[in-house]
Amino acid sequence: MAKSFKRAGKVFGKISLDLIPVIIGILAALLINDYRQKLQEQKRQAILLNNLVDEFAKRRDELNNVIKYRQLPLLNTLEVYINNSEIPLREIFQKAGGFGFPEVYVLSWESALNSQDTKSLDFILLNSLSRITSNQQDITSRTETIYDFLYSPGVTLYDSRPEAKELLDIMLNDFVESERTLISRYDEFIQLADSLYDGVTVDSIAVDSLAAEVDTVSSE
């Protein structure tokens, strides 16, 4: 009986030793798969953030140009003729070269928010995107308000009353201020994304390196 137990123990021990490499191989494969999934997620996030940074930087530059070359000249011209009841709004717009309403919407990130790529994005970054959307909606609303004002029955482009010019001056100044706020929010997002993008790149390299090492050990 004792010999049987001893023989069984040797067999069990041999089987256990044979199973150890198998178990290690399974665990290594699971680790490799997990790391590679994280790597792919980080790379997709890096691509998403990089695309958004490019889009927001483009919109920011467009806003700066519209403010500098279209809107500020109109506000300056309006200020010169604001009390001149002989110069209508239409002529003021002509002298200034128009006003210029920028294209502010960047919608690509809104659909991306519903994908798995953004599930683990930093809350501060997502909050920054929400503020950008809110500001974009505000500018769109102000644009519609100005159009409604200029083409309303009570005020037309041929209106030369000082009070009409004063009201338009207030609306345009508020509009430009809202644009400048959006520019600052674009800059805020770009800075946040740049810091996060750098971290994602470093993490991706580390994950890739570790996955390669585990793969090498497993193959041995």
C-alpha separations of 19 from 15, 39, 188 in Å: 6, 30, 55
How many alpha carbons lie under 13 Å from residue 106 in its C-beta half-sphere? 21
Cα 95 from Cα 88, distance rounded (Å): 11
Cα 25 from Cα 137, distance rounded (Å): 54
pLDDT tens string 100-113: 887 776 555 565 55
Question: What's the pLDDT at 109?
Answer: 57
Cα 207 from Cα 203, distance rounded (Å): 6
pLDDT tens string 11-20: 555 555 556 6
Q: Which H, E and C letters describe 55-97, residue by residue?
A: HHHHHHHHHHHHHHHHHHHHHHHHHHHCCCCCCCHHHHHHHHC
Q: Does the pTM exceed 0.85?
A: no
Render each residue's pLDDT in the chain as its tens digit; 220 residues: 545 545 545 555 555 555 666 666 666 666 767 667 677 777 777 777 888 888 899 999 999 999 999 999 999 999 999 999 999 999 999 999 888 887 776 555 565 555 555 555 677 888 888 899 889 889 989 999 998 988 888 778 889 999 999 999 999 999 999 999 999 999 999 998 887 765 554 455 555 555 555 555 445 5
C-alpha separations of 113 from 20, 92, 207 in Å: 44, 44, 25
